[in-house]
Structure formats: C-alpha cells, structure tokens
Structure 1
C-alpha cells in the first residue's frame, strides 16, 4: 500500500468518529466547523495546489452572478476547461498537482456544475411561482440563492472531500438544517456499511500481492498460455473492485456518522440526487430513514446484475446520477448508442487525459449495442428456461467485458492497453461485433421471412379471387 493510500485511509478512518460530533452543533457552527476541517485537509494534502480549487469556485461564482440563465452551460465549460489546464500545468512551468489535489478537483467539478443547475432551477421556479401565483411542485429545490460563503463552505465541506460521494448543494443545506439530528440513525447503519470493509481490504491486499498489475507489462507475461493471459484480467478487475468497495463503503460510513443524506424512506431518495417526492411523515407513526442519497456503491448488484448497462448504475452511483442528469440529456446526438457514447466520452475526460480511459469507456457503447442486438434477436424468442440460460451466459460475458475494459482503466497508456488487448486477440471487441452482426442477420432473416409470408398471402388471395371468378362463370 502506497503512502498516498495510507493517507486516504487515515482520513477515512478519522472522518467516521468525527462525523458523530457534527450532530451536536447548530447550523452556523456546523457549517463553519465543516469548512475549517475541510480547508485544513485541503491545505495539508495539496499545499499550494489548493489554489486550483479556489480558482474553480470563484470562477463559478462569477458565472452564476453574471448570468444564472446560462450558468449550467458556462459552468460546465469553465470547470472542464480548467480541468484541462490543471492537468497540463507542467506545460506552463508549474509544479504537477498532488494526487490529493486531483481528487478534490474532480469532486469540485461535479459540485460546481450541479450548483449552477440548482441555481438556475431556483430562479425558474421563482418566476413560475410569481406568474402562476402557486408554489412550485419541484422536489428538493433551493429556497434562496447561495452566497459566496455558502459556495465555499459547500465546496470544502470535509465530508467526502477527496473520496466522495458527490452530493448536491440542497443535500448539504438539508444536512445543516436537520431537526433533531441526534435522533437520526447513526451507529447501526454505519456499522452495517463497514461490516465487509475488512474483507474487501484483505482480499484487495492478498490478490494484489500475487497478481501485480506491473507483471502485465513484462515480456515474461506474453510467454504464458492464452488462458492465463485471459484469466489475469479477471483478477485485476477483482483487485480493482475490492479496492473501491472498501474505499467507498468507508466514505459512505463517514457520511452516515455525520447524518449527511439522511431522509425518510418515503422520500424515495436517489443516490446523488436526494428525495424525488415531497414526503410528509405521519406524526403518529415512527419514521424510517435511509441513506440512499449518499450511496455510491452496490457491491452485490455490481457483481451479479446481468447487463453491461445495469452494471454502470451500481458503480460510482452518485457520479452516474450526475452524468445522467447533466450530460446525457444535453448530448448533441439523438440515438441512444451515440448519446451513451457521448456520455462515456465526457466521463473519460472527467477521469483524466490518459488514452486508456477513452479506450475503456468508449468500448461500453459497443457492448451495450451487442447485448441489445442479442436480446432482440435471441432472448425474445426463448421460453422461460431458455431465457434463464441466456441470462447466465449474458452475466458471464458482462463480467468479462468489464474485466477487459478495466485493463485500459488501470494500464492508462494506449500502448500498454493495446499491447494487452492484442495478447488476448481483442476478444471482447470481436465477440461484441459478432453479436451485433448476428443480431442484424437474424433481424434481416426475420424481415425476409415476413416478406415471403406476405407474398404467399397475396398469392393465396389472388388464387382465391381467380377461383371465385371461375365458379361465377361456371354458374
């Protein structure tokens, strides 16, 4: 385990007991204390690179104050262009940012774009209320435009400052104003979220010890049998999952201990977005709470869901919500596959400039197209048992597809990624393309059969008409 990972682990471990202390103060004290602690972490880990995050916040604040109508588009352009500068600072003779500064900058980008959208929604709802003389039915909207201090406090709130999860400004405000926060659930859901973290951590350390990623780059690796080379990507993805399962479950526990993202179950909260319905609990019955708003990972469904498209829903769930609400709807394309490709391209850019990100993320739309083709041409024609068998095969291929794409994500360089994919003969790309081709052929065959059946039907109708004519003439 690297020194940076130990620092991350220490911050995560400390955030859990500290979180319970944040249930006591009043909103102003809680806001100030969370800001002070977050700034301390930022300065201690990023040093001078903390200025990058401050410039991002100030730029977004200027955009919002200048034009709230255009703020969503302008904030997205501003934060993503600054990300580019942030990653290329060495070209300008500046020192490279630390990994901690990179982590903070990534989460801050999500927060600033989301905040700009929330402010725009606030103004639009306010205008709608004035014109219609009725309260807006929108769920989870702001009650006022945030000040510069509010923006800075939200940006540097210590909760999940480097590890996530992402949460909206409204979620942050609800946390500050929680009534009776001491009565909200804490220890039980926190311990439930932490119960498997030691297992994930042990599996990560053990598997990483015996199957190091660096071995893939050696010439010796290519001397092994094809089956071994293929198996290696499965173990690498296993190590990758265990690492993030442990980190994200620990980050969620830090949110739970502080009470962040705690809403009644009746609010039907979504990861990242928060409540989706206006919920008023019955005062005579006990209220059951959940922390779905800050849930960032669902390990079981990540591993055992059937489809590639569903696998994304359970991985980095709060970021997936952000992409689904702020990137996917604004795609310049209309076709689903192209919109998905655009979203994956933006996600790859957000992660970094390494070619491996793009090779991996842009393989996802191809896999989605392949599974859609096979579902339409094969699964739809099978009975219950056949569909069950199809789903098991689909699940197996889904996991191998994610194994395959993970290699680009961790190898990073285009040469290393292509080198490994070449060693296993680009097997997932070939399978995906074969499935798409097979699906189209089956669809074409079905079209030809329909055409033939239609022609036979027309010929039959013509014969019946001729026979009727003959009978009429005979009579």
Structure 2
C-alpha cells in the first residue's frame, strides 16, 4: 500500500490510519492517526512524565524525544520541531479564530463556509507537513537548505499564513462589537433579580 509517497507494509497498516491522515483538517488530527502505537508510548512514557508545565512545552519535549529516537540528523529535529510549531499554531490561532467565526455567524455547522474553511485548513496542514517532511527525508542540513532555497522558502510563508487570517477575523468581529464568548442566535442569560 502506498500512502503519502511512503511504502507502508501490511503489518504496519494497522498502525497508520491512512484515511484519517489524508482527511486531517488540523495537524493534531494527522499526528494522532500516524504511528498510533508509538504515539501511545510517547504519551505514556514521555508526555505525562514531563514535570508540570504548559502543554506546548510538554509537546515540544515529546517531539524532541521522538526526533532523538529517530537518530542524530538535523532533518529529524527540523521535522519534529516543525510539527510542534504547527500544533502550536493550531492552538494559538485555530480555537480563537473558530470561536470568532462562529460569533460572526460566518460558518454555521455544515454550511458552505465551514466546508471552505475545512478545505483551507486541510490544505494548510498538508502543505506544512510536506514542507517540514522534506527535512525528515533529506536528513542533512545542506540538502534541506538547498531544497528550501529552490522553493524560495515559500513553506514558511504558508506556515505563517493563518496569522493574518486570524487577525482579520478578530478585527472583523471587533468592528461588529461582538465578544468572542457570545454566539449568534443565543440570547444572553437572564439575571435573576431579588424581590424585596
């Protein structure tokens, strides 16, 4: 079976949920569907054992451990660091922007705008995985830099693309005077008055 340009043997097919990888909308969905037995090991023995700190720091430690596990090549660290950065971008921009979009009534559940948003997010996820994935395959710093130069470092622009989009959404919702915690069509809760 061939998936994403990699050969996956039949014994490994149950470890990789190919359809979920291909249909992933955000990076965390892709990561959760890839190499599931190793993911479980990393959660149990690395992520949960990192001393109490922010989620992003625990994820970064886990990805760095995974890079070390693969070997001592710069490409592995660039790849797993890129995945950590993608998931951080998802958490930083994704949830607040989605909340604002719902607030503005731009993306009702199942609507065409929601579909377009999901396609755009999926394209962003796949483009970023392809960009950082080249580092994993090429391994050596000079080869990675040559490849990135040939593409004029456009992958980094794609990676940063959600930031101006999220800022535009926040600005639009601010102009309309809505707060991120209100939802269109939902009446504010009534405050019970005390009877004297």
Matched, 1:423 2:150: yes
Quick check: which one's helix share is greater?
Answer: 1
Change (3 A) 1:336 1:303: same
Higher relative contact order (CA 8 A, sep 6+): 2
What is the aligned partner in structure 1 of residue 94 from structure 2?
A: 375
Aligned pairs for 1:39-50 (under 5 A) are none
Instruction: Assess if the C-alpha contact under 8 Å between 1:404 and 1:428 holds in 2.
Output: yes
Matched, 1:338 2:57: yes
Deviation at 1:450, TM superposition (A): 6.9
What is the aligned partner in structure 1 of residue 121 from structure 2?
A: 394
Instruction: Assess if the C-alpha contact under 8 Å between 1:357 and 1:408 holds in 2.
Output: yes
Matched, 1:250 2:16: no
What is the aligned partner in structure 1 of residue 191 from structure 2?
A: none
Change (3 A) 1:239 1:432: closer
Matched, 1:353 2:72: yes
What is the aligned partner in structure 2 of residue 439 from structure 1?
A: 166
Deviations 1:121-155 (A, max 9, x none): xxxxxxxxxxxxxxxxxxxxxxxxxxxxxxxxxxx
What is the aligned partner in structure 2 of residue 239 from structure 1?
A: 5
Bigger Cα Rg: 1
> In the aligned structure 2, how far is the partner of 1:346 from the partner of 1:318?
16
Deviation at 1:437, TM superposition (A): 5.5
What 5-or-longer segments of structure 1 have no aligned partner? Answer: 1-196, 205-237, 253-294, 452-475
What is the aligned partner in structure 1 of residue 188 from structure 2?
A: none
Q: TM-score, normalised by structure 2?
A: 0.74
Local SS of the residue matching 1:362? helix
Local SS of the residue matching 1:306? coil
> In the aligned structure 2, how far is the partner of 1:410 from the partner of 1:365?
18
Aligned pairs for 1:205-220 (under 5 A) are none
Deviation at 1:326, TM superposition (A): 1.0
Instruction: Assess if the C-alpha contact under 8 Å between 2:75 and 2:135 holds in 1.
Output: yes
Aligned pairs for 1:70-81 (under 5 A) are none
Deviations 1:27-69 (A, max 9, x none): xxxxxxxxxxxxxxxxxxxxxxxxxxxxxxxxxxxxxxxxxxx
Deviations 1:368-405 (A, max 9, x none): 23233443344331323212210011111111111112
Change (3 A) 1:373 1:338: same
What 5-or-longer segments of structure 2 have no aligned partner? Answer: 180-196
Change (3 A) 1:396 1:307: same
